[in-house]
Each structure stands twice: as structure tokens, then as C-alpha cells.
């Protein structure tokens, strides 16, 4: 075979294989870690019905290859989440759903302290090229309107500054419906988690897309 014909054949083979390689890369399972507090930990919820379980099932049903891991811990503040960040989010993580700050707000933590901790988490994840969906919460507090407004602005401000995806209120889907809450009126039951997953699913699909782009 002459050299010119060999080069042409090699180019043809490469052009056939490149799309296959691209499909193979997109078929890789995306590892998502949910770093949060009791809203994601699933205390009181049977195994298989917690947020991470229902979210992974919903993603798979839509053809998304994703594995969702539960790194929620009841009672955690943003600072506590930061302290365990590297243990809870290993380096092979592709994406993080970050849901922290509700306990800070309920406990009267200075919003600037919460903001600093969340910013450090976002900076660390960005340095490791891990895509992030930052979740806020419905601001409800007994510490006055100024405090409430500071928390509301904090989440959206962080999302904009760090260029991460944003879901404004993690508890919006269930907080106003007693049938979707546990008896404490704060945490979702299995039905409440289902309502949450339905609402947040497009945002998580966008997170997966961003994680795949970072991988290229």
C-alpha cells in the first residue's frame, strides 16, 4: 500500500472511532456526593426512600448514568461541613450537591461566618474541578428581617461569585405541606422527598452535564 493511501485509510479509521470514543466517555458513571445536613441525611426515612436513593433512581429512569452518595449529617452547620469536606468528598467525585446553612440560620449563626465556610467549600471543590449545585433554603428565623435577608442574599451571591449552579430553596417542595413532612414539620417524609426530587431533577441533570464538560 502506498504511503498516501495508508494516510487516507488511517484518517478514515480515526474519523470512525472518534465518535465512539466520545460516546464511551459520556457513558461513564458520574459520581455525585450530596454534602448536607439532616435534610439530606434521611434520618427517620427507610433505606431506599432517602433523598440520595430517590434521586439516583429518578436519574437512572431518565437514562442518566449517575451514582449518588449520601454525605448528609444531622445537625451540621456550614463550618462542620467544611471540617469534614475532604473525608466526605473524595477526589474521584465528579459533582457535589451542597446543602448546608439551614442549621446556621436556625441557630442564629452570623451570616458572615456561614458565608465564609461555604465559600471555602466552593473554592476547594473548584480547585479539584468538581461541579457544584449550591442549594439555599427557605429563610425562616426568629432573629429579625435583617438577619433573614442576609441569609437569603448569601446563597444567591455565593452562586454568582463562584459560578456554580443554584437551587434557591431546597425545602420549597415540601415545607408548606404537612402531608409531605415528618411530625417535626421541618424535615420531609418519603413523599416529600419524592416531591423534592421531581422539582430539583432538571437542576441535577444540568449538574451532570457540567461535570461531564469538566471531564473533557
Per-residue model confidence as pLDDT tens for the chain (216 residues): 554 543 344 444 344 444 434 444 467 899 999 999 999 998 889 989 999 999 999 999 999 999 999 999 999 999 999 999 999 999 999 999 999 999 999 899 999 999 999 999 999 999 999 999 999 988 776 788 888 888 889 999 999 999 999 999 999 999 889 999 998 878 999 999 999 999 999 999 999 999 999 776
Predicted pLDDT at 44? 82
Residues 6+ apart with CB under 8 A from 9: 1
Q: Where in the sequence numbering do the catalytic residues fall?
A: 38, 184, 187
Predicted pLDDT at 10? 41
Rounded Cα–Cα distance for residues 96 and 68 (Å): 9
Q: Is residue 204 situated within a structural domain? A: yes
Q: Is residue 4 situated within a structural domain? A: no
Q: Output the pTM of the full model.
A: 0.86
Rounded Cα–Cα distance for residues 212 and 111 (Å): 33
Residue 48, φ and ψ in degrees, nearest 5: 95, -15
**Domain total in the chain:** 1
Predicted pLDDT at 2? 52
What is the extent of the structural domain holding 172? 28-214
Q: Is residue 1 situated within a structural domain? A: no
Among candidate residues 90, 56, 49, 46, the one with its CA nearest the CA of residue 71: 90
Q: Is residue 14 situated within a structural domain? A: no
Predicted pLDDT at 139? 72
Q: Is residue 193 situated within a structural domain? A: yes
Sign of CA pseudo-dihedral 35, 39, 44, 47: negative
Predicted pLDDT at 142? 74
User: At 115, which CATH number?
Assistant: 3.40.50.1110
Q: Is residue 8 situated within a structural domain? A: no
Q: Is residue 12 situated within a structural domain? A: no
Q: Is residue 117 situated within a structural domain? A: yes
Amino acid at each position: 500500500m502506498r504511503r498516501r493511501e495508508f494516510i487516507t485509510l488511517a484518517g478514515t479509521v480515526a474519523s470512525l472511532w472518534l465518535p465512539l470514543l466520545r460516546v464511551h466517555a459520556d457513558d461513564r458513571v458520574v459520581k455525585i456526593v450530596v454534602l448536607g445536613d439532616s435534610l439530606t441525611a434521611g434520618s427517620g426515612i427507610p433505606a431506599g426512600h432517602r433523598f440520595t436513593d430517590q434521586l439516583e433512581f429518578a436519574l437512572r429512569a431518565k437514562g442518566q448514568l449517575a451514582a449518588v452518595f449520601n454525605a448528609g449529617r444531622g445537625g451540621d452547620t456550614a463550618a462542620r461541613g467544611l471540617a469534614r469536606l475532604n473525608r466526605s468528598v473524595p477526589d474521584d467525585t465528579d459533582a457535589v450537591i451542597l446543602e448546608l446553612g439551614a442549621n446556621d440560620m436556625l441557630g442564629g449563626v452570623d451570616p458572615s461566618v456561614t458565608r465564609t465556610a461555604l465559600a471555602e467549600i466552593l473554592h476547594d471543590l473548584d480547585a479539584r474541578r468538581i461541579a457544584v449545585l449550591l442549594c439555599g433554603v427557605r429563610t425562616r428565623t426568629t432573629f429579625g428581617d435583617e438577619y433573614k435577608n442576609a441569609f437569603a442574599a448569601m446563597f444567591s451571591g455565593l452562586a454568582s461569585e463562584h459560578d456554580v449552579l443554584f437551587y434557591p430553596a431546597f425545602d420549597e417542595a415540601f415545607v408548606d405541606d404537612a402531608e409531605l413532612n415528618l411530625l417535626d414539620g421541618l424535615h420531609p417524609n418519603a413523599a416529600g422527598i419524592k416531591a423534592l426530587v421531581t422539582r430539583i431533577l432538571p437542576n441535577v441533570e444540568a449538574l451532570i452535564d457540567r461535570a461531564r464538560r469538566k471531564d473533557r
